Structure 1
Amino acid sequence: MIRGVRGAITIQENSEKEIIQATDRLLHKMIDENQIMPEYVASVFISVTDDITDAFPAKVLRSLEGWSYVPVMCMKEISVSNALEKCIRVMMHVNTAKSQQEINHVYLEDAVVLRPDLASK
């Protein structure tokens, strides 16, 4: 069964260093909390808000050992008035025997407001 594993994090400033560090922190937490092995990942979508322009977050995933063959795509998040700013979102499509309730979605920093019901799991 393929399940979606969601995650999001916000950054304070649009800089390559901060984008890379935040993405690395988010991805490692998603991978660790869900025991994700790259060979079981079908694909990963990473979106950013319009105010993130200094780096590709996918660069982080491609640099992780064993993840070089996992298809990754970066894209822009839909612009919505009063939406959360400086946000990086990740959706991993993972082959797993876990139920939807067993998946640990990860929301860090100000991104906790996106899904407080899942962030507190």
Structure 2
Amino acid sequence: MEKLPFNDARTEIIRRRKMRQPVLETFTMALWQALRTLRNYHYDLSSRQLLNCTSRGDCTSHLKWEHLKNFREKCRNEGVDQDDYTEQQLHDYAMVSSSSDPRNSSAHRNGSRVQQ
């Protein structure tokens, strides 16, 4: 393995400092893209698998991080162990909270009702 050639320690320090911003931008973009790809999947309760979902914003069975966060907060408020729940309980909670969310009213207007 060869060392990178550099003439002066001072120029090497300056070179590395100039590289920080492009590296930070590349890392930030890669992380954003990875999270975006992850959000395109939803957990299908019947098959117990992550499935690619092209209509994630309009998908009625798409669990979101906010569903899990709100469900765990509800468990804490009720004095229930927030880590002791089944997938079905979380799914039922998400479907009820999604159907009562005014932002999802367009799904109801289109005729795709969520069973509670």
TM range (shorter): under 0.3
TM-score (norm 1): 0.23
State the structure with more CA Rg: 2
Structure with more contact order per residue of length (Cα contacts < 8 Å, sep ≥ 6): 1
- Whose strand proportion is higher, 1 or 2? 1
- Whose helix proportion is higher, 1 or 2? 2
TM-score (norm 2): 0.23
